[in-house]
Structure 1
Amino acid sequence: MGDLIAEQLVSRETMTALQEFEALVRKWTKSINLVAPSTINDIWDRHIVDSAQIFKYAPDSFRTWTDIGSGGGFPGIVVAIMAREHHPTSRFTFIESDRRKATFLRTAIRTFDLRAAVLDQRIEQAVPQQADVVSARALTSLSMMFEMLQRHLSPQGIAVLHKGRRHDNEVAEARKLWRFELEEHASLTDPEARILAIQGIQSATD
Structure 2
Amino acid sequence: MTGANEASFAEDFNVSRETIERLHRYEVLLRKWNPAINLVSPQTLTDVWGRHFRDSAQIFDLAKTPDAKIWADLGAGGGFPGLVVAILAAEKQPSLSVTLVESDQRKAAFLMTVGRELGLHTRVLSQRIEAIPPLGADILSARALAPLSKLLEFAERHLKPGGTALFPKGAKWREELSEAQKSWSFDVACHASVTDSEATVLEISGVSRV
Same fold (TM over 0.5): yes
Matches within 5 A, 1:39-188: 39-58=44-63, 59-188=65-194
- Give the 3-state SS of the residue equivalent to 2:131 in structure 1: coil
Q: Deviations over 1:47-98 (max 9, x none)?
A: 1111111111111221110000000001000010000011112111100000
What amino acid is aligned across from residue 154 of structure 1 in structure 2?
K
Q: Does the CA contact (< 8 Å) of 2:10 and 2:16 recur in 1?
A: no
Q: Deviations over 1:104-149 (max 9, x none)?
A: 0000110111111100000111121000000110001001111111
What stretches of structure 2 of length at least 5 have no aligned partner? none
Compare the two structures and name the one with the higher helix fraction. 2
Q: Alignment identity in percent?
A: 48
Q: Does the CA contact (< 8 Å) of 2:37 and 2:106 recur in 1?
A: yes
Q: Residue 13 of structure 1: which of 5, 10, 18 is its match?
A: 18
C-alpha distance in 2, partners of 1:157/1:137? 18
Give the TM-score normalised by the residue count of structure 2: 0.94
What stretches of structure 1 of length at least 5 have no aligned partner? none
Q: Does the CA contact (< 8 Å) of 1:5 and 1:53 recur in 2?
A: no
C-alpha distance in 2, partners of 1:193/1:142? 14
Q: Deviations over 1:27-49 (max 9, x none)?
A: 11021100012212222211111
C-alpha distance in 2, partners of 1:44/1:28? 17
C-alpha distance in 1, partners of 2:99/2:205? 19
Q: Does the CA contact (< 8 Å) of 1:132 and 1:154 recur in 2?
A: yes
What amino acid is aligned across from residue 149 of structure 1 in structure 2?
A
- Give the 3-state SS of the residue equivalent to 1:180 in structure 2: strand
Give the TM-score normalised by the residue count of structure 1: 0.96
Q: Does the CA contact (< 8 Å) of 1:22 and 1:48 recur in 2?
A: no
Q: Does the CA contact (< 8 Å) of 1:5 and 1:49 recur in 2?
A: no
Q: Does the CA contact (< 8 Å) of 2:171 and 2:198 recur in 1?
A: yes
Closer, same or farther: CA 145–5 of 1 in aligned 2, 3 Å: farther
Show the counterpart of 1:203. 209
What amino acid is aligned across from residue 27 of structure 2 in structure 1?
E
Deviates more, 1:86-95 or 1:4-13: 4-13
Instruction: Note the aligned Cα RMSD (angstroms).
Output: 1.1
C-alpha distance in 1, partners of 2:181/2:72? 24
